[in-house]
DNA sequence: AAAAAAC
């Protein structure tokens, strides 16, 4: 099998695969853990064992064989022995924490299932997709399409497509021949170029970079957009940052003095078109104070005409000159209208994106025009395609795609803050790239180098990865970014966080400054919470970026029900257990890895199918555990903020914040895991009484309305909120 | 302060 298969699946491979006559699809054998007699009349419910049953089974209290402990032969460093475990009720069997003195496990024992989150092979609960084993190998995953994380473009029409395609696709797409939709002999393209382009740039209002026809700048001529002086201190504060780049010997391309006035500069713009009254994301009190508060802005136009595309209006969005687009603007628009070629359009349609979402309609033309772009769209609004599709189109444009020159250097780079997100992005971008004969490869940590370096050697066009491994390979000399002419930062604001910023700066510095055609290399920054935190990168690497957002994407238009439960600390774990006992998919966010692991453990002990996702798991476990939720083999995932951003799992109906989020951004990203595709979702945040004020502040900044309710174990509200 | 991101 896979070269990196470490045999972690051996247990499942030994397991009894015969189907029990009464077995559910999820558990075929009565001997198999997880077996549950089928009872079609019983209400769907999470599999669980009650206390009596647990008591009756001598081994039931044992800790599952989860990887960190097992593989290290001891308790992980981050969790002192016995630390943090919830007090167990008397009904719990004594647990044995020392695994080494235990007899080897027998797979066919009949003790109750405990979702072995980490080292178990894919569970038997769903065998139909299991035949080709693939869950455990360590190699870079190209998720099988049937269970891959849904993409950012949530569409109600997407499900059917996905269901149709449930063959386990395991082939390496990098190597695969161009797809069938790559043909030239197909029906004529329908993106008729001769009809008026609704998004034609030429009929837009003068852009910000055209300074001459703009109203005079108001606030002086300082060629910078950010008032540094009133910003909160940042480690990358301008004043001490300049030298950093000046030191390098290459020409500064974006010398401020020669730059056009920045888009962040508000006041000189046309009147606002709309949405001044909607929740502002760019002007929050808890942010670093900035130069651009909006009180001094031009009068707004609340009554902007709708129903037709009006890209012309500059929206003054808190210093980010954002062109706003509303959903109605894109009706009837096709990707072809935006400048996307036929092959790519067809690939998009295959991905379920038959017509552009607003953020896509907003950013695609600018990317194709060669501009730097900042894009902000709500979680799940289709940002991946918003940069992925035009990126591929641009690569086609210069350089031409179809010839695969061995060893050619990549020409595009997409960076994400987590491996899972990088994988997910690649699952969207790869088919788009392949539709025109371009190749992508994933460059992220936690997996062997061989495959990644091999792919680079063979030659790829688009890198999708995380900063650490990209830097690593750069230093090893196996990754050459000097020909990268389009760079994308997904979750760009997060990429400016301490710890990310410097690597990102180094990486971007290694990319090309100009294209072979002599044009400026492009940088695209996207995030649902894109704000002035990206100033550091914008100033250093972007040139007159256009800024886009989607209007009307405030919380009031959301399908999410937000609740806050004020809970006594000692009751917290029990309350959580009741909350996650519902049958729908639930993601629980914890602040630390140890707590995430402990909670998942506790839920399993309570008979709830749960798993965990955090940085203490190795990559194959991370990948698999996420997949367990995606595929529905578990319906509770307890995660750290590694899962807060970007990760899409279909049909998550409940997000529980076991620990309050750090800030409103974390709140928005975490809660964005549910309520996707216009579906309903619930977000429940648990806070101790002492944190009431804190969460109220966060909610206010996120502009979310939620009542705080005191609650405790056994409250009816817990069962009501549990995922349906 | 934690988490993420390389080995």
CA of A131 to C1' of B5 (A): 34
- Please tell me which of A102-106, A113-117, A519-523, A701-705 the model is most confident about, judged by mean pLDDT: A519-523
pLDDT of residue A723: 86
Q: Any idea which nucleotide's C1' is nearest the CA of A470?
A: B6
Give the pLDDT mean for A81-95. Answer: 37
pLDDT of residue A671: 95
Instruction: Identify the CA nearest to A632 among candidates A2, A24, A62.
Output: A24
CA of A609 to C1' of B3 (A): 25
Rounded percentage of chain A residues whose pLDDT exceeds 70 = 54
pLDDT of residue A553: 66
Tell me the three state secondary structure of residue A677.
Answer: helix
Contacting residues for A408 by C-beta, under 8 A, at least 6 apart: A459, A460, A461, A483
Least confident of A12-16, A362-366, A580-584, A719-723: A12-16
Contact A317, A263 (CB under 8 A): no
- Please report, to the nearest 10 degrees, the dihedral formed by the alpha carbons of residues A278, A280, A286, A287 taken in order: 180
Can you tell me the distance from the alpha carbon of A322 to that of A326, in angstroms, rounded to the nearest whole number?
A: 12
CA of A514 to C1' of B5 (A): 28
Give the pLDDT mean for A357-362. Answer: 94
CA of A576 to C1' of B7 (A): 37
CA of A192 to C1' of B4 (A): 45
CA of A593 to C1' of B2 (A): 9
pLDDT surpasses 90 at A207: no
CA of A711 to C1' of B3 (A): 29
CA of A273 to C1' of B5 (A): 40
pLDDT of residue A380: 84
Contact A22, A14 (CB under 8 A): no
The residue with greater pLDDT, A237 or A663, is A663
The residue with greater pLDDT, A310 or A371, is A371
CA of A469 to C1' of B4 (A): 13
- 10 Å CB burial of residue A396 (0-12, 13-18, 19+) is buried
Can you tell me the distance from the alpha carbon of A541 to that of A415, in angstroms, rounded to the nearest whole number?
A: 15
Q: Any idea which nucleotide's C1' is nearest the CA of A594?
A: B2
Helix, strand, coil in percent for chain A, rounding step 5: 35, 10, 55
Can you tell me the distance from the alpha carbon of A343 to that of A349, in angstroms, rounded to the nearest whole number?
A: 10
Give the residue whose CA sits closest to B5 at C1'.
A468
Instruction: Identify the CA nearest to A265 among candidates A239, A306, A296.
Output: A296
Q: Residues A370, A371, A375, CA angle at the centre, nearest 5°?
A: 125
Contact A344, A318 (CB under 8 A): no
Domains defined along chain A, listed by start: 180-232+250-550 (3.40.50.300), 558-721 (3.40.50.300)
Give the pLDDT mean for A167-192. Answer: 37
CA of A553 to C1' of B5 (A): 31
The residue with greater pLDDT, A699 or A240, is A699
Q: Any idea which nucleotide's C1' is nearest the CA of A476?
A: B6
Q: Any idea which nucleotide's C1' is nearest the CA of A448?
A: B7
Q: For A134, left (φ over 0), alpha (ψ -120 to 50), or beta?
A: alpha
Question: Quick one: three-class SS letters along A500-528?
Answer: CHHHHHHHHHCCCCECCCCCECEEEEEEC
Question: Hey, what are A68's tokens?
Answer: 């960190």
Can you tell me the distance from the alpha carbon of A631 to that of A211, in angstroms, rounded to the nearest whole number?
A: 52
Tell me which H or E stretch contains A316: strand A314-317
Give the residue whose CA sits closest to B3 at C1'.
A641
Can you tell me the distance from the alpha carbon of A630 to that of A621, in angstroms, rounded to the nearest whole number?
A: 14
The 10s digit of each residue's pLDDT in A334-343 is 999 999 999 9
Q: Which residues are A527's β-sheet partners?
A: A376
Least confident of A198-212, A532-546, A556-570: A198-212
Q: Which residues are A363's β-sheet partners?
A: none
pLDDT surpasses 70 at A227: no
Residue A326 confidence class, pLDDT cut points 50, 70, 90 = confident
- Please tell me which of A19-28, A201-210, A525-534 the model is most confident about, judged by mean pLDDT: A525-534
CA of A419 to C1' of B7 (A): 16
- Mean pLDDT rounded to a whole number for chain A: 68
- 10 Å CB burial of residue A621 (0-12, 13-18, 19+) is buried
Instruction: Identify the CA nearest to A69 among candidates A597, A610, A600.
Output: A597
pLDDT surpasses 90 at A86: no
Q: Which residues are A413's β-sheet partners?
A: A463, A487
Give the pLDDT mean for A590-614. Answer: 98
The 10s digit of each residue's pLDDT in A455-503 is 999 999 999 999 999 999 999 999 999 999 999 999 999 999 999 999 9
Least confident of A74-88, A225-239, A292-306, A537-551: A292-306
The 10s digit of each residue's pLDDT in A442-463 is 999 999 999 999 999 999 999 9
Contact A272, A298 (CB under 8 A): yes
Instruction: Identify the CA nearest to A704 among candidates A281, A195, A169, A156.
Output: A281
The 10s digit of each residue's pLDDT in A506-529 is 999 999 999 999 999 999 999 999
CA of A566 to C1' of B5 (A): 34
CA of A295 to C1' of B5 (A): 39
Contacting residues for A353 by C-beta, under 8 A, at least 6 apart: A151, A153, A155, A335, A360, A382, A385
Can you tell me the distance from the alpha carbon of A299 to that of A291, in angstroms, rounded to the nearest whole number?
A: 19
Contact A481, A488 (CB under 8 A): no
pLDDT of residue A27: 34
CA of A218 to C1' of B6 (A): 47
Contacting residues for A497 by C-beta, under 8 A, at least 6 apart: A533
Distances (CA, A) of A63 to A59, A93, A109, A112, A263: 9, 11, 15, 12, 56
- Sign of the dihedral through C-alpha A659, A664, A666, A667: positive
Contact A418, A466 (CB under 8 A): yes
CA of A347 to C1' of B5 (A): 31
CA of A349 to C1' of B5 (A): 33
pLDDT of residue A599: 98
Residue A439 confidence class, pLDDT cut points 50, 70, 90 = very high
Q: Any idea which nucleotide's C1' is nearest the CA of A465?
A: B5
The 10s digit of each residue's pLDDT in A111-163 is 333 444 444 433 333 333 333 333 333 333 333 333 333 343 333 333 333 33
Residue A555 confidence class, pLDDT cut points 50, 70, 90 = low
Q: Any idea which nucleotide's C1' is nearest the CA of A494?
A: B4
Contact A643, A587 (CB under 8 A): yes
CA of A591 to C1' of B3 (A): 8
- Sign of the dihedral through C-alpha A270, A274, A277, A281: negative
pLDDT of residue A329: 75
- 10 Å CB burial of residue A68 (0-12, 13-18, 19+) is buried
Q: Any idea which nucleotide's C1' is nearest the CA of A420?
A: B4
Give the residue whose CA sits closest to B2 at C1'.
A592
pLDDT of residue A167: 38
Residue A403 confidence class, pLDDT cut points 50, 70, 90 = low
Q: Any idea which nucleotide's C1' is nearest the CA of A78?
A: B2
The residue with greater pLDDT, A327 or A508, is A508
Instruction: Identify the CA nearest to A268 among candidates A314, A304, A330, A328.
Output: A314
pLDDT of residue A554: 67
Q: What is the DSSP letter of A74?
A: S
Q: Any idea which nucleotide's C1' is nearest the CA of A500?
A: B5
- Please tell me which of A199-203, A435-439, A547-551 the model is most confident about, judged by mean pLDDT: A435-439
pLDDT of residue A253: 36
CA of A641 to C1' of B3 (A): 7
Residues by CB within 7 Å of nucleic chain B, which ones? A 78, 417-420, 444-447, 465-472, 475, 497-500, 503, 591-594, 614-616, 640-642, 662
Contact A169, A144 (CB under 8 A): yes
Question: Hey, what are A419's tokens?
Answer: 């491996």
Nucleotides of B under 7 A from a protein CB: 1-7
The 10s digit of each residue's pLDDT in A627-638 is 999 999 999 999
Q: Any idea which nucleotide's C1' is nearest the CA of A503?
A: B5
Q: Any idea which nucleotide's C1' is nearest the CA of A473?
A: B6
- Sign of the dihedral through C-alpha A688, A593, A443, A151: negative
Question: Hey, what are A631's tokens?
Answer: 């595929």
Residue A183 confidence class, pLDDT cut points 50, 70, 90 = very low
CA of A172 to C1' of B6 (A): 24
pLDDT of residue A682: 96
pLDDT of residue A202: 35
Q: Any idea which nucleotide's C1' is nearest the CA of A475?
A: B6
Question: Hey, what are A364's tokens?
Answer: 């695609």
Question: Hey, what are A603's tokens?
Answer: 């839920």
């Amino acid at each position: 099998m896979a070269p990196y298969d470490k045999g972690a699946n051996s247990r499942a491979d030994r397991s009894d695969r015969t189907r029990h006559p009464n077995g559910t699809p999820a558990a075929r054998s009565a001997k198999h853990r997880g077996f549950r007699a089928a009872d079609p009349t019983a209400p769907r419910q999470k599999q669980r064992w009650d206390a009596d049953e647990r008591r009756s089974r001598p081994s039931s209290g044992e800790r599952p064989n989860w990887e960190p402990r097992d593989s290290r032969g001891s308790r992980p460093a981050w969790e002192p022995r016995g630390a943090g475990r919830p007090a167990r009720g008397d009904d719990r069997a004594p647990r044995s924490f020392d695994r080494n003195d235990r007899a080897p496990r027998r797979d066919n024992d009949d003790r109750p299932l405990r979702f072995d989150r980490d080292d178990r092979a894919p569970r038997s609960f769903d065998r139909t997709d299991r035949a080709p084993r693939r869950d455990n190998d360590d190699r870079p995953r190209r998720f099988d399409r049937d269970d891959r994380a849904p993409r950012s473009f949530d569409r109600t029409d997407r499900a059917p497509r996905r269901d149709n395609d449930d063959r386990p696709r395991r082939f390496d797409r990098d190597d695969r021949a161009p797809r069938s939709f790559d043909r030239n002999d197909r029906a004529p393209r329908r993106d008729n170029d001769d009809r008026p382009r609704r998004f034609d740039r030429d009929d837009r209002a003068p852009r910000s970079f055209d300074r001459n026809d703009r109203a005079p700048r108001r606030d002086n001529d300082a060629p910078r957009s950010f008032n540094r002086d009133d910003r909160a201190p940042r480690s990358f504060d301008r004043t001490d940052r300049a030298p950093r780049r000046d030191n390098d010997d290459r020409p500064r391309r974006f010398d401020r003095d020669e730059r056009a006035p920045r888009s962040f500069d508000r006041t000189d713009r046309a009147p606002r078109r709309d949405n001044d009254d909607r929740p502002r994301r760019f002007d929050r009190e808890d942010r670093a104070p900035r130069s651009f508060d909006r009180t001094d802005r031009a009068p707004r136009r609340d009554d902007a005409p709708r129903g037709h595309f009006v890209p012309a209006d500059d929206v003054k969005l808190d210093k980010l000159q954002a062109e706003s687009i509303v959903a109605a603007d894109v009706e009837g628009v096709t990707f072809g209208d935006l400048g996307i070629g036929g092959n790519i359009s067809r690939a998009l349609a295959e991905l379920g994106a038959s017509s552009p979402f607003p953020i896509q309609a907003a950013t695609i033309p600018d990317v194709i025009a060669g501009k730097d772009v900042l894009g902000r769209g709500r979680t799940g609004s289709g940002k991946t395609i918003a940069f992925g599709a035009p990126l591929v189109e641009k690569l086609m444009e210069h350089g031409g795609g179809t010839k695969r020159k061995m060893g050619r250097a990549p020409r595009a780079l997409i960076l994400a803050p987590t491996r899972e997100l990088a994988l997910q992005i690649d699952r969207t971008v790869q088919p788009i790239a392949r539709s025109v004969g371009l190749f992508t490869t994933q460059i992220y940590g936690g997996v062997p180098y061989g495959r990644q370096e091999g792919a680079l050697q063979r030659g790829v066009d688009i890198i999708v990865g995380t900063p650490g491994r990209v830097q690593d390979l750069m230093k090893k000399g196996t990754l050459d970014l000097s020909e990268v002419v389009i760079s994308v930062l997904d979750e760009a604001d997060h990429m400016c966080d301490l710890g990310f910023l410097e690597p990102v700066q180094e990486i971007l510095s290694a990319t090309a400054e100009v294209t072979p055609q002599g044009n400026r290399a492009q940088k695209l920054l996207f995030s649902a919470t894109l704000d002035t935190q990206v100033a550091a990168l914008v100033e250093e690497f972007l040139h007159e970026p256009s800024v886009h957002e989607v209007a009307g994407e405030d919380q009031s238009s959301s399908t999410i029900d937000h609740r806050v439960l004020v809970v006594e600390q000692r009751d917290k774990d029990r309350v959580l257990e009741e909350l996650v006992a519902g049958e729908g998919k639930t993601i629980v966010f914890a602040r630390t890895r140890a707590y995430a692991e402990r909670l998942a453990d506790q839920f399993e002990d309570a008979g709830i199918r749960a798993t965990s996702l955090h940085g203490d798991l190795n990559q194959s476990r991370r990948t698999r555990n996420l997949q367990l939720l995606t595929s529905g083999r578990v319906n509770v995932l307890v995660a750290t903020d590694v899962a807060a951003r970007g990760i899409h799992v279909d049909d998550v109906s409940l997000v529980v914040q076991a620990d309050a989020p750090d800030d409103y951004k974390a709140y928005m990203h975490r809660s964005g895991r549910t309520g996707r595709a216009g579906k309903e979702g619930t977000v429940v945040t648990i806070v101790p009484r002492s944190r009431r004020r804190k969460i109220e502040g966060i909610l206010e900044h996120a502009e979310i309305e939620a009542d705080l309710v005191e609650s405790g174990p056994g409250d009816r509200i817990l069962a009501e909120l549990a995922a349906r």
